[in-house]
Protein backbone atom coordinates (compact mmCIF):
# COMPACT_ATOMS: atom_id res chain seq x y z
CA UNK A 1 0.00 0.00 0.00
CA UNK A 2 2.80 2.41 0.91
CA UNK A 3 4.60 1.71 -2.38
CA UNK A 4 1.70 3.35 -4.25
CA UNK A 5 2.53 6.59 -2.42
CA UNK A 6 6.14 6.40 -3.59
CA UNK A 7 4.99 7.45 -7.04
CA UNK A 8 3.52 10.61 -5.51
CA UNK A 9 6.90 11.39 -3.96
CA UNK A 10 8.70 10.99 -7.28
CA UNK A 11 6.02 13.08 -9.00
CA UNK A 12 6.51 15.77 -6.32
CA UNK A 13 10.21 16.04 -7.22
CA UNK A 14 9.36 16.33 -10.93
CA UNK A 15 6.62 18.85 -10.14
CA UNK A 16 9.13 20.96 -8.22
CA UNK A 17 11.69 20.85 -11.03
CA UNK A 18 9.18 21.66 -13.78
CA UNK A 19 8.37 25.33 -12.96
CA UNK A 20 11.86 26.02 -11.60
CA UNK A 21 13.39 24.61 -14.78
CA UNK A 22 11.08 26.72 -16.92
CA UNK A 23 11.95 29.90 -15.00
CA UNK A 24 15.69 29.15 -15.09
CA UNK A 25 15.51 28.62 -18.88
CA UNK A 26 13.73 31.96 -19.12
CA UNK A 27 16.32 33.76 -16.99
CA UNK A 28 19.12 32.12 -18.98
CA UNK A 29 17.57 33.33 -22.24
CA UNK A 30 17.34 36.78 -20.68
CA UNK A 31 21.04 36.65 -19.77
CA UNK A 32 22.33 35.17 -23.05
CA UNK A 33 20.26 37.36 -25.37
CA UNK A 34 20.88 40.46 -23.21
CA UNK A 35 17.15 41.14 -23.03
CA UNK A 36 17.21 42.92 -19.70
CA UNK A 37 17.41 46.71 -20.07
CA UNK A 38 16.03 48.11 -16.83
CA UNK A 39 15.28 51.77 -16.29
CA UNK A 40 13.71 53.48 -13.28
CA UNK A 41 10.32 53.99 -14.91
CA UNK A 42 10.11 50.38 -16.02
CA UNK A 43 10.81 49.11 -12.52
CA UNK A 44 8.09 51.10 -10.79
CA UNK A 45 4.96 49.33 -9.63
CA UNK A 46 2.20 49.53 -12.24
CA UNK A 47 -0.58 51.88 -11.28
CA UNK A 48 -2.12 53.05 -14.57
CA UNK A 49 0.80 55.33 -15.37
CA UNK A 50 0.70 57.30 -12.09
CA UNK A 51 3.50 57.20 -9.54
CA UNK A 52 2.30 54.64 -6.99
CA UNK A 53 0.91 56.21 -3.83
CA UNK A 54 1.99 54.57 -0.60
CA UNK A 55 2.53 50.90 0.02
CA UNK A 56 0.16 48.17 -1.07
CA UNK A 57 0.80 45.99 1.99
CA UNK A 58 -2.26 47.17 3.84
CA UNK A 59 -4.78 45.73 6.26
CA UNK A 60 -7.56 43.57 4.83
CA UNK A 61 -11.24 44.30 4.93
CA UNK A 62 -12.89 42.23 7.69
CA UNK A 63 -15.32 40.54 5.28
CA UNK A 64 -12.46 38.32 4.08
CA UNK A 65 -12.05 37.05 7.66
CA UNK A 66 -15.77 36.29 7.92
CA UNK A 67 -15.70 34.13 4.81
CA UNK A 68 -12.47 32.48 5.91
CA UNK A 69 -14.07 31.56 9.27
CA UNK A 70 -17.13 30.11 7.57
CA UNK A 71 -14.86 28.20 5.20
CA UNK A 72 -12.92 26.62 8.06
CA UNK A 73 -16.13 25.43 9.74
CA UNK A 74 -17.56 23.83 6.63
CA UNK A 75 -14.26 22.43 5.42
CA UNK A 76 -13.72 20.59 8.69
CA UNK A 77 -17.26 19.28 8.31
CA UNK A 78 -16.45 18.04 4.80
CA UNK A 79 -13.31 16.25 6.02
CA UNK A 80 -15.46 14.52 8.65
CA UNK A 81 -18.08 13.55 6.09
CA UNK A 82 -15.67 11.75 3.74
CA UNK A 83 -15.00 8.71 5.95
CA UNK A 84 -18.71 8.73 6.77
CA UNK A 85 -19.57 8.49 3.06
CA UNK A 86 -17.08 5.66 2.44
CA UNK A 87 -18.53 3.54 5.26
CA UNK A 88 -22.13 4.62 4.76
CA UNK A 89 -23.45 1.53 2.93
CA UNK A 90 -22.22 -0.77 5.68
CA UNK A 91 -23.50 1.38 8.57
CA UNK A 92 -27.03 2.01 7.26
CA UNK A 93 -29.78 3.88 9.10
CA UNK A 94 -27.65 4.59 12.20
CA UNK A 95 -25.12 6.53 10.10
CA UNK A 96 -27.89 8.42 8.34
CA UNK A 97 -29.45 9.66 11.60
CA UNK A 98 -26.06 10.55 13.02
CA UNK A 99 -25.15 12.54 9.91
CA UNK A 100 -28.53 14.29 9.96
CA UNK A 101 -27.90 15.44 13.55
CA UNK A 102 -24.38 16.57 12.70
CA UNK A 103 -25.43 18.56 9.63
CA UNK A 104 -28.48 19.85 11.55
CA UNK A 105 -26.25 21.45 14.19
CA UNK A 106 -24.15 23.04 11.45
CA UNK A 107 -27.28 24.21 9.67
CA UNK A 108 -28.32 26.14 12.77
CA UNK A 109 -24.98 27.94 12.69
CA UNK A 110 -25.33 28.51 8.96
CA UNK A 111 -28.81 30.02 9.35
CA UNK A 112 -27.51 32.20 12.20
CA UNK A 113 -24.71 33.47 9.97
CA UNK A 114 -27.22 34.12 7.18
CA UNK A 115 -29.53 35.95 9.60
CA UNK A 116 -26.62 38.08 10.89
CA UNK A 117 -25.88 39.01 7.23
CA UNK A 118 -22.43 37.38 7.39
CA UNK A 119 -23.06 35.98 3.90
CA UNK A 120 -23.51 39.42 2.33
CA UNK A 121 -20.61 40.88 0.38
CA UNK A 122 -20.55 44.58 1.13
Partner 1 sequence: MSPWDIIYNFFPYIGGLISGALSSVLPGWAVYVIMALIGIIGILGFAITGNLAMVWAERRIIGRMQVRLGPNRVGPFGLLQPIADAIKVLTKEDIVPRKADKLLHFLGPTAFLIPAVLAWAVVPFADGTILTDLNIGILYMLAVSSLSLIGLFLAGWGSNNKYSLLGSMRTIAQVVSYEIPMVLSILGVVAIVGSLSMVDIVKAQNIPFIVLQPLGFIVYLIAATAELNRSPFDTLEAESEIVAGYFTEYSGMKFAIFYIAEYFNLLLVASIVTTLFLGGWRGPFLPPYIWFVIKIFLLFFFFMWLRGTLPRFRIDQLMALAWKFLLPLALLNIFLTGLGILAWQALGF
Binders of partner 1 in range 5-64 (CB under 8 A): 5-8, 10-12, 14-16, 18-20, 22-23, 25-27, 29-30, 33, 35-38, 40, 42-48, 52, 55-58, 60, 63-64
Among 62, 74, 101, 117, binds partner 1 (CB under 8 A): 74
Assign residue 96 a region (left: φ > 0; alpha: ψ between -120 and 50; beta: otherwise): alpha
User: Could you tell me how many residues of this chain bind partner 1 (CB under 8 A)?
Assistant: 72
| Segment 78 to 117, residues that bind partner 1, using CB under 8 A | 78, 81-82, 85-90, 92-93, 96, 99-100, 103, 107, 110, 114
Amino acid sequence: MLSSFGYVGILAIVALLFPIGAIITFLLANYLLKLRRPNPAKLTTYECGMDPIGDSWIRFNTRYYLFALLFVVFDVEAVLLYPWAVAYRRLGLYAFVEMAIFIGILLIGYLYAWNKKALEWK
